[in-house]
Structure formats: structure tokens, C-alpha cells
Amino acid sequence: MPVVTTHKDGDVLVVVSDNPPVNALGAAVRQGLAEAMKTAASDDSVKAVVIVGHGRTFFAGADITEFGKPPVEPGLPEVVDLIEASAKPVVAAIHGTALGGGLEVALGCHYRVAVPSAKLGLPEVKLGLLPGAGGTQRLPRVIGVEAALPMIVSGDPISAKTAEAAGLIDRIVGEGSLEPDAIAFAREVASRSDHPVSSKRTDKISGTDPGVFDRFRQENARRLKGFEAPEACIQAVKAAVDLPFAEGLNKERELFMKLVSGTQSAALRHNFFAERAATKIDGIAADIQLIPIKKVGILGAGTMGGGIGMNFLSAGIEVVMVEREQAPLDRGVGVIRKNYENTAKRGRLTPDQVEGAMAKLKPTLSYDDLADCDLVIEAVFENMDVKKEVFGRLDTIVKPGAILASNTSYLNIDQIAAMTRRPESVIGLHFFSPANVMRLLEIVRGARTGGAVLATCMALAKKIGKIAVVAGVCDGFIGNRMLTPRQREANKLILQGAPFDRVDQVLLDFGFPMGPFQMADLAGLDLGWNKETSKGASIRDLLCERDRRGQKNGRGFYDYDEKRNRTPSPEVQQIIREFAAESGEDQREIGDQEILERLLYPMVNEGALILEEHMAQRASDIDVVWLNGYGWPAWTGGPMFWADTVGLGKVVEGLEKNAPHMDKAFRMSALLKSKAAEGGRFNT
């Protein structure tokens, strides 16, 4: 069956594309569309054309898997030109998503109708690209620069309603009657003497304020920092205003070709597929029966418990929240309400939605209220004895078959599971703070965790908007485990003479939002520190002993003013020098390259150890963790993809060269070494 078919409805030619799952504009679809346009031109009985997608969606864009491969004719720009050049009016009938090349096809059409739930956007920028089939030239001509710039540069889609208001959609049609409504619309416009041609329009771009581009750059500078594609998008839109259409298209093509062959786009495309690959679990049948989750219990209403609960409340799932005492329970519920109310103040929730979410929350001091929950997530103190006691108790109370999960950051899920008579129902669900905001979820698969339990948690993660990655049971799982060698080396570097603010700066320059010492200040240096037992055995002990607790009291590695502006503390620098002398560390000048290598190469090595020990299913899962949980810059593709671009041989060389200075705990991964020796990569 061809992916593109045509049929006649009276004098309207209906062109149907059905290329599951998302109607991507691969070669066969492009060929089909080109053929259909020829049919429309040669059949005198055809007065108008409707292009419609069957299945989930209108076209969700170019087929991303074709990038980097030899091009197959016809290219998308030619197909769009062919549609636009049709003497007979062409109507795009949009449902689902018209994204990227999909919206560019729609822009080539003379008219666009859409169902109310449709979304329209140009997300190419998120893949490190720009719309390369005339989108940067046609969209501003159709909706003006002020509306087109944010759409193209952010890549975020807009609703059918917003699109109609902007002039991108000519009519919103019935949700269940797209095709007949589009045909009726086509018949209605067929008798008109001329039809709007996007590339020929000037009404929306003439008189564009030339200052709009610089203003846009300034207003979005922070968000766009480090990425190449947004600037290329801005330049292409500017070309739509400054140049005739054909020259603008050339500019768009030139910018597109540069981006598509660059490392950033390769990395961002990797991220797209990595996120999707992470949802696939080795050794579990795709059709496994999932456990229905209608009611979720949360144990502990502290920092994590509250945030975790909000995820489920926001998805319309009932939550029972259990605490030890009334005060922390009230505090936890208060924080949830305040968070929702703040969102409502920003206009992103209605007061009714706030009350609706709160009505689904049942705060209680009784474990017995957890009995009929389908899933209970424990978020009490990070202490094995406490966790063991809690799981033993949960096992006796919560109904058989229900999932018992721990939000532990480091502890052994198998030991926790052993406290129950249902280890197959025990799993780790490691949320990140703030849990209602951060998208990453590490799902920790215990030695005895059942397949249905794992698959249910994976599906649930998608439902609550999380990006989930499966990890094995090891100290710190994937993310925190890799943080450990970085922190170790950061501590070592400052003792050996690298100023702590320089260490932070090197990571900021690489693209991280924060360096290790800024992060330590933010988390609080006194986390887990005890005044009575402190022996001045580490820099942290010494800082806490001098009441340098971090941002919370305005003094940590940095001094903070009332606006939280930071300056490196000379007192701390002196403390480090003295401590280094006492510990017998020689101080020397350390260059930025060595700092970078010593912070990041050991992380790559730890990632390789994680793979070697099968604690992650694939290298790209590790990238997903670091990209979504720890601010690793997206345009480098995550630690493992980045290492591939550096060259694994170079990484091993760097580790061997720096070894004499590195922390003694460092252990080279055999997998990394062997891959480096054979010129291999982690991501193939």
C-alpha cells in the first residue's frame, strides 16, 4: 500500500498521507505528494485539492532519520514549491501536529484549516536546525515577524486558536469532521479568482521595525546562550524582511546546510532519539499487562514528598500523604498549596484547577490509609534503618500486588526489598529536586523487581510528564554515581592550586548552569555535617566550623550579598592554602584544559564502568540522565556522546596523563580502554 493515496470527492482531489507513527515526510511521502500534485494539475475535473494525514497526525516533520544520509529526490523544498505553484487551490487539513516540514508543507498550501486540538510549530531549532523548506521565509510573510520570531526561535508549538488569531489558520473546523469540512472549505474557495500565495505576500512584513531582531536577541540572550541554531534562525527571518523571497530562500538553505553538518545538531538529534530509546526496557515484552494506578501513597511530606505528590495530583491521580507528626504534614500540604497558588497567580492554572488538585490530596498520620493504594512512594529520611523499618511496615498494610517504591538517592533497593514478602513489587523511583519541576526520573530496577512493575512505572512516568531512565542497583545509580568522581577531582584540584572559582568558571564556560562549589553553596555545606563530631578533616568541616554554611547564611565558598551576587571569599582561599600545606599537597598553577579534563573525563570513565556493570541499558541513557537531571549542556549531547566527539582515545590519554595528580580512588574502565584502542564509540 503506498503511503500517499488520492481519491476524488466530486471536484476535490483528496490527498491522504498515512505514514505511521507520525506521518514523517520521508522520501516515499515526498514522492507521493509530488505525484499527487501532478495528478491534480493534469485532471481538468479537479477544481481544488485537500491534503490530509491519516492516523495520529498531520505531518510531524521531516524524517529525522534521513538527516546525514544521501538526499533522495524530491527534496522537501521542491515539494513545497510544487504545492504552492498549483493553479488549483490547495487546502491543508490539519489534526494532531503540523510540525517542522509539516508546517512548511501547510505554508506552501494556499489555505489551512485545523481542528481545535491541533498544534502547529517549527521545532527544528530544538534539533539544532532551522526550518529548511522555506519556513523561515514563508511564516513571517503569513503572520509577521513579531509572531514568527518566537515560534521559529523557541520551537514551541502554538494552538489552533492562537494560529487562527495570528492568521496562520483560515478556519477552525469540527474535531470529528476534519476531512468533510476541509473538502467543503476547498469547494467554497475554488471559485475565487485568486488564492493567497505565502511566498508572494508582503503585507505582514512591509514596515517591519529593523530593531526587532536585536531586541529579540537581548531579551532571550540567557535562554539561547551556547546554542548556534537560534542565531541562524534570527538571521534567516531577517533575510525574509531584507531580501526578495528567492534570495531569502538561498540564505535559509546556506544556514541550514551549515547547521545540519555541525556537531551541535548531531548532538541535539542524538538527544531526541536517546530520550525515546530510554523508554524501551530490555527483556520486557512490549505488550506486558500493566498494573492500573489510580491511587498513590506518599510517605514523608518533606522537600521531596510534596513535589512528588504534586506530579500525581496534577495528572488527576488521587494522593494519600502520610507523615509522622501533624506539624510536618501541615507544612508539606501548605507548600503544595502555595506552589499551586503561585502557578495560578502566573495565569497557568485557574483557581478551580488549584482546588481540584488539592481536593484529590488526603493528608493523614495513619499508615492504614495507604492500604488501598496501587503505588506507595517512600520519601522519608535517607537512612537505611529507617527505610527498612518503613518497608517492613508497608508490606503488612498495603494491599497485595501494589507497588512499593523508594525515592532513595543512594541506598540499596535490594536490601530494602528484602524487608518485604514481595520483593518483585519493590522498585526505586528516584525523583530530582524540585520534584514537581525536574523532568528526570531514575527508575531503579532491583534484582527481583518484576517486569510488570517496571513497565508500569515507565508508563506512569510518561503520564506525569517525566523522562524516565532505567538504572541498576549501585551506589548513586547513574546520575549521583557519576557526580562523585567529579566532586572528588574538584576537591583535589583546589588543594593542588586551582582557585575554586576558576574550577566553577571552567564548567560554566563549558555550558553547565553551575559549578561544583556554587552547587555546594546552594545545597548547604552543613548538609550531613555535625558540630559536635566535626574534626576539621576536610575543607567543608573547616568552612562549617567558621559558620560558612553556604547561600543560606550568605557565606560559603563565596560571599553573597542580599541579591545573592557572589564573590569568591579570600578567607576561604586562605583556608584552602593552609589545609593543602598541612595535607602535604603541592600547589601549582593549573590550566583550564587540565581542570576540564580532570572534571569531565572521570565522569565519562564512571559512565563506562556503569555500562560495563550493566547498571545502565545503553550509553544514550546515561546522556539522558545528565542532560535532564544535572544541566549537562544539551548542545554537546551528554557525557557519553560528548566523549565520542572528543575521541575516546583522547579521553584515555588525558586520564593517563593526569593520573599522577588525580584522586587515588580513580579506577580506569576496561570498556573505555578497549573502545579507545579499537577507535570505537559509545553511541553507534
Cis bond upstream, residue 74 (ω within 30) = yes
CA contacts within 13 A on the Cβ side of 104: 28
Per-residue x/- track, 274-293, ligand CAA (CB under 6 A): --x-----------------
Binding partner of residue 104 among ligand NAI, ligand CAA, none, CB under 5 to 8 Å per kind? ligand CAA
Q: What is the DSSP string of 469-525?
A: EEE-SSTTTTHHHHHHHHHHHHHHHHHTT--HHHHHHHHHHHT-SS-HHHHHHHH-T
Residue with cell 488569531: 165
Count of residues near ligand NAI by CB under 6 A: 23
Per-residue x/- track, 315-344, ligand NAI (CB under 6 A): -------xxx---x----------------
Instruction: For residue 221, give the DSSP letter.
Output: H
Q: Which of the following is catalytic: 104, 164, 378, 594? A: 104
β-pairing, 295-299 vs 158-159, is: unpaired
Among 3, 4, 15, 22, binds ligand CAA (CB under 6 A): 22
Among 247, 359, 381, 437, binds ligand NAI (CB under 6 A): 381
Q: How far apart are alpha carbons 309 and 391 in whole angstroms?
A: 19
Q: Per CB under 6 A, does 369 bind ligand NAI?
A: no
β-pairing, 295-299 vs 171-172, is: unpaired
Q: Per CB under 6 A, does 395 bind ligand NAI?
A: no
Per-residue x/- track, 238-277, ligand CAA (CB under 6 A): --------------------------------------x-
Binding partner of residue 390 among ligand NAI, ligand CAA, none, CB under 5 to 8 Å per kind? ligand NAI
What is the distance between the terminal CA atoms of the chain, rounded to a whole angstrom? 32
442 has catalytic annotation: no
Q: What residues numbered 87-116 form the site for ligand CAA, per CB under 6 A?
A: 97, 99-101, 104
CA contacts within 13 A on the Cβ side of 571: 11
Residue with cell 554554611: 549
Comparing C-alpha atoms, which of 262, 260, 385, 390 is closest to residue 322? 390
Dig out the grid coordinates for 486 from the structure.
567529579
Cis bond upstream, residue 21 (ω within 30) = yes
Q: Give least dist CB 333 to ligand NAI, A.
A: 11
Q: What residues numbered 546-575 form the site for ligand NAI, per CB under 6 A?
A: none
Q: How far apart are alpha carbons 101 and 131 in whole angstroms?
A: 7
Q: Which of these segments, 122-130, 398-406, 411-419, 420-428, binds ligand CAA (CB under 6 A)? A: 122-130
Q: Which of these segments, 53-61, 213-221, 417-425, 430-438, binds ligand NAI (CB under 6 A)? A: 430-438
164 has catalytic annotation: no
Binding partner of residue 408 among ligand CAA, ligand NAI, none, CB under 5 to 8 Å per kind? ligand NAI
Q: Which of these segments, 21-29, 227-235, 383-391, 465-473, binds ligand CAA (CB under 6 A)? A: 21-29
Q: Give least dist CB 241 to ligand NAI, A.
A: 47
CA contacts within 13 A on the Cβ side of 367: 14
Among 102, 131, 134, 300, binds ligand NAI (CB under 6 A): 300
Residues that bind ligand NAI (CB under 6 A): 299-305, 322-324, 328, 379-382, 386, 390, 407-409, 431-433
Which residues are known to be catalytic?
Answer: 104, 124
